[in-house]
Chains A and B, each alone.
Chain A
Amino acid sequence: MTAEQPTTGTVQTGDLQQGPHDTDTYLLIEEEEERVYVATPLQMMWWRFLKHKMAIIGAIVVILLYVVAIFAEVLAPYNPETYEVALTYAPPQPIHFFHNGEFQGTPFVYGLTQARNPDTLRMEFKIDESVRYPLRFWVEGDPYKLWGFWPNSRHLFGIGDPIFDASAAVTTDTPSFSVIFLLGADKLGRDMFTRIVYGSRVSLSIGLIGVALSFIFGVVLGGISGFYGGVIDVLIQRAIEFIRSVPSIPLWMALSASLPQDWSSIRVYFGITIILSLIGWTFLARAVRGRFLSMREEEFILAARFAGAGEMRIILRHMVPSFFSHLIASATLAVPSMILSETSLSFLGLGLRPPAISWGVLLQESQNLRSVALAPWLLLPGVFVIITVLALNFFGDGLRDAADPYH
């Protein structure tokens, strides 16, 4: 495949011939080869995958993101609907380790306060260095129910009792707010970090469920098309060509707009997922069909047929395992486009609507350029979208390369 590893200078071909060829290491190489000969396909895929550095980084980021989504209630310091109007568009509070040049032992944030700007006469947020809020782990906070079942009120992190430092006193009009807004606040003074963490649930799961749905459609229809051929094949191929010839975004927009306005968030969520997979399945179906067609001619299928294996057994025992890894790879590569589509639809107001939280819904607020100029951190959900899409792409690339370890 394309060897485009930007981080390494060597071409990664997967074989072990590229080691030094002097006689000292000859035995070592032979041992290595021995290891390769007895390795199972899964082991070989794993070795191949480990060689793809960006894919490993991608995999780690993807896993982290999904862990965040699963434990959103615990990881977020607040409840996503907790608001404080006085904190509208509060800026992000950076975490500090040093106060007055002294290392503090525990990380902390400075207090946030408001002061009137003498030039514009507007209230502006200021950092109040006379108050420090140390970062504490496993603190008491807004009560929540983990996954809707277990009531709890502990959050992974939060702030402890303030430490005052009179020497750094600044003139402030209001007392400091005791909050920790790592990524700032939105127009209702809700913590962006909390909302992004909660939004990851919808945004990340819609990709997985959508791909799972298109996977089912794609494998079944593509399999039928490739295995039986003939009229059915022509019909399904025509249908795929037709769906692909319609521009996707207007079609998505029209379909999403046709979801009834009074539907609950959950129903809209599944509605959007189904709409996205209605188009997504065509790509997987093409891939499955191609594999089926090329594999029908392979010798090992012929051998199985001569040995008297039934059709079902040939499909399930011989064909599916030999292209399943490819399917997983293409499915992984399909997830990011689903995430992007959901984000775009929700951003336009055609997908999920508040109070549902997804990255696209959060980005709706940044449609107003005036608020973006005032509070650029409203664009941060988009940064998370980009990170997710990139990580999934690298991860999928690595899987695709690893899917064929004999190549």
Chain B
Amino acid sequence: MSSFIFRRLILMVPTLFMISLISFVIIELPPGDYMTSYIANRMAMGDDVRQDEIDALVKQYGLDQPAPVRYTKWLGNVLQGNFGFSFEWQLPVSDLIWDRLGLTVVVAFAALMFSWVIGLVVGVLSAVYQYSIGDYFFTALSFIGLGTPNFMLALIMMWIALAYFGVNISGLFSQEFIDAPWSFAKFGDMLKHLWAPAIIVGTAGSAGLVRTMRANLLDELSKPYVETGRAKGLNELKLVLKYPTRVALNPFVSTMGWALPQLVSGSIIVSVVLSLPTTGPLLLRALLTQDMYLASSFLLMLSTLTIVGTLISDIMLALLDPRIRMGG
């Protein structure tokens, strides 16, 4: 087992290296740099920008050096935990990203929990009561859930909450907690706000899980051992939950590998709509203003999150299934 984990960890290194390179190159791609947009902004506001001021700023940020030099420097710093400097915020990048990455993980995790609970409960119910009204209802609902873009769901929920209940569901904290340091009260406040993003981000995933759970359980339910159990007079609830459901559960774990990255990805657009204090809004802004170190660091860290997520699910699968562990 440890050799399996070790092998996977070694494989991660070149992938992460490639990702760091690509994140940097993508951010470098557009013509101009942060200075160009900064100067354009200042000009638009009617400011007079002197050439020597520009030169000084360019030199200060190291923008006069060629890209490969800057990449090597940046990567070297990243390895030491220094992600560079955000031009726009005038703060070190590491001050900006950790909180937001943490909250992104929290939102993604809550969404995962939501989709698992819904996937399990609704999937089992609609398999056991196949072709009932409830089954049709949830089948239709899960198809709609699969077809609805995340941000659309966010917009609709925000609109319904505001128009019919007068509640604003955007944000992750109440007004008084936004800048407050972490405390139990703040944590509790976050939990109160978490349900909306969790539902919105988790819906597409849970719709998929309901479909898989239902199909798998239906396959299992028609097998002879279920019939045997029933013939022997086993309690129906116990019969369904104890045997076929457990077999049908496997895909839950195996799909977690791609479910987590998808949730992280999906939460980005949703968090822009709901203006959550997660990576989404800040990444979008950094990309638009070419705040390059901030944007590349976000890309790098989000990809790392994805890869670690995949790794964790692979390890869990390997723990469950010796064939994967041995075959590698």
Known contacts A246-B19, A344-B269, A372-B159; decide if A336 and B147 are in contact (CB<8 Å): yes
Known contacts A6-B136, A245-B310, A372-B159; decide if A393 and B147 are in contact (CB<8 Å): yes
Query: A258 to B19, alpha carbons, bound, how many Å?
Result: 17
- Residues of A362-396 at the interface with B, using a CB-CB cut-off of 8 Å, are 363, 366-367, 369, 372-373, 376, 379, 382, 385-386, 389-390, 393
Contact check: which of A242, A249, A369 meets B269 at CB < 8 Å? A249
Q: Is B152 in contact with A254, judged by CB distance below 8 angstroms? A: no
Residues of A within 8 A of B30 (CB): 257-260
CB of B26 within 8 Å of the partner chain:
yes
Known contacts A247-B264, A247-B303, A255-B26; decide if A386 and B159 are in contact (CB<8 Å): no
Known contacts A2-B215, A373-B159, A386-B152; decide if A249 and B146 are in contact (CB<8 Å): no
Chain-A contact segment, one of B65-73, B109-117, B283-291: B283-291
Q: Which of A250, A251, A254, A389 counts the most B-chain CB atoms under 10 A from its CB?
A: A250
Residues of B within 8 A of A393 (CB): 143, 146-147
Map CB proximity to B onto A44-58 as digits: 1 under 8 Å, 0 otherwise.
000000000000000
CB of B163 within 8 Å of the partner chain:
yes
Look across to chain B and name the residue whose beta carbon is closest to the beta carbon of A387.
B147
Contact check: which of A251, A372, A382 meets B299 at CB < 8 Å? A251
What is the number of contacts between chain A and chain B, taking CB atoms within 8 Å? Answer: 128
Contact check: which of B163, B269, B283, B307 meets A347 at CB < 8 Å? B269
Residues of A within 8 A of B158 (CB): 369, 372
Q: Is B268 in contact with A250, judged by CB distance below 8 angstroms? A: yes
Q: Is B287 in contact with A382, judged by CB distance below 8 angstroms? A: no
Q: How far is the CB of A390 from chain B (nearest CB, A)?
A: 4
Residues of A within 8 A of B302 (CB): 247, 250
CB of A348 within 8 Å of the partner chain:
yes
Query: A349 to B18, alpha carbons, bound, how many Å?
Result: 28
Residues of B within 8 A of A260 (CB): 30-31
Q: Is B149 in contact with A253, judged by CB distance below 8 angstroms? A: no
Q: How far is the CB of B220 from chain A (nearest CB, A)?
A: 14
CB of A308 within 8 Å of the partner chain:
no
CB of A350 within 8 Å of the partner chain:
yes
Known contacts A259-B30, A386-B144; decide if A246 and B306 are in contact (CB<8 Å): yes
Query: A340 to B159, alpha carbons, bound, how many Å?
Result: 21
Look across to chain A and name the residue whose beta carbon is closest to the beta carbon of B137.
A6
Q: Is B163 in contact with A386, judged by CB distance below 8 angstroms? A: no
Query: A369 to B19, alpha carbons, bound, how many Å?
Result: 36
Q: Is A350 in contact with B211, judged by CB distance below 8 angstroms? A: no
CB of A165 within 8 Å of the partner chain:
no
CB of A343 within 8 Å of the partner chain:
yes
- Residues of A252-284 at the interface with B, using a CB-CB cut-off of 8 Å, are 253-255, 257-260
Dominant secondary structure of chain A at its interface with chain B: helix
Q: Is B152 in contact with A369, judged by CB distance below 8 angstroms? A: no
Q: How far is the CB of B321 from chain A (nearest CB, A)?
A: 20
Residues of B within 8 A of A242 (CB): 15, 18-19
Map CB proximity to A onto B1-35 as digits: 1 under 8 Å, 0 otherwise.
00000000000000100110011001101110000
Q: Is B155 in contact with A366, judged by CB distance below 8 angstroms? A: yes
CB of A4 within 8 Å of the partner chain:
yes
Q: Which of B155, B214, B303, B310 counts the most A-chain CB atoms under 10 A from its CB?
A: B155
Q: How far is the CB of A76 from chain B (nearest CB, A)?
A: 23
Query: A247 to B283, alpha carbons, bound, how many Å?
Result: 13
Count B-side interface residues using an 8 Å CB cutoff.
55
Map CB proximity to A onto B143-164 as digits: 1 under 8 Å, 0 otherwise.
1101111111001101100110
Query: A128 to B107, alpha carbons, bound, how many Å?
Result: 49
Q: Which of A248, A253, A347, A386 counts the most B-chain CB atoms under 10 A from its CB?
A: A253
Query: A257 to B31, alpha carbons, bound, how many Å?
Result: 11
Q: How far is the CB of A212 from chain B (nearest CB, A)?
A: 22
Q: How far is the CB of A219 from chain B (nearest CB, A)?
A: 24
Query: A141 to B26, alpha carbons, bound, how many Å?
Result: 47
- Residues of B131-180 at the interface with A, using a CB-CB cut-off of 8 Å, are 131, 135-136, 139-140, 143-144, 146-152, 155-156, 158-159, 162-163, 170
CB of A19 within 8 Å of the partner chain:
no
Known contacts A254-B23, A350-B287, A379-B159; decide if A249 and B15 are in contact (CB<8 Å): no
Residues of A within 8 A of B162 (CB): 369, 373
CB of A9 within 8 Å of the partner chain:
yes
Contact check: which of B136, B163, B211, B298 meets A376 at CB < 8 Å? B163
CB of B295 within 8 Å of the partner chain:
yes
Query: A269 to B98, alpha carbons, bound, how many Å?
Result: 35
Q: Is A253 in contact with B307, judged by CB distance below 8 angstroms? A: no
Nearest first, the 8 closest Cβ-Cβ pairs linking A and B are A257-B287, A258-B29, A389-B147, A249-B265, A390-B147, A382-B152, A258-B30, A247-B265
Ordered by A's residue number, 17 sampled pairs between the chains whose C-beta atoms are within 8 Å are A245-B15, A245-B19, A245-B310, A247-B264, A247-B302, A253-B283, A253-B287, A343-B149, A344-B150, A348-B269, A363-B152, A367-B273, A372-B159, A379-B152, A379-B155, A379-B156, A382-B156
Having A246-B303, A247-B302, A260-B31, one finds 7 other A-B pairs with CB under 8 Å, namely: A9-B131, A250-B299, A259-B30, A348-B284, A379-B155, A389-B147, A390-B146
Interface residues of B, Cβ cutoff 8 Å to A:
15, 18-19, 22-23, 26-27, 29-31, 131, 135-136, 139-140, 143-144, 146-152, 155-156, 158-159, 162-163, 170, 211, 214-215, 261, 264-266, 268-269, 272-273, 283-284, 287-288, 295, 298-299, 302-303, 305-307, 310
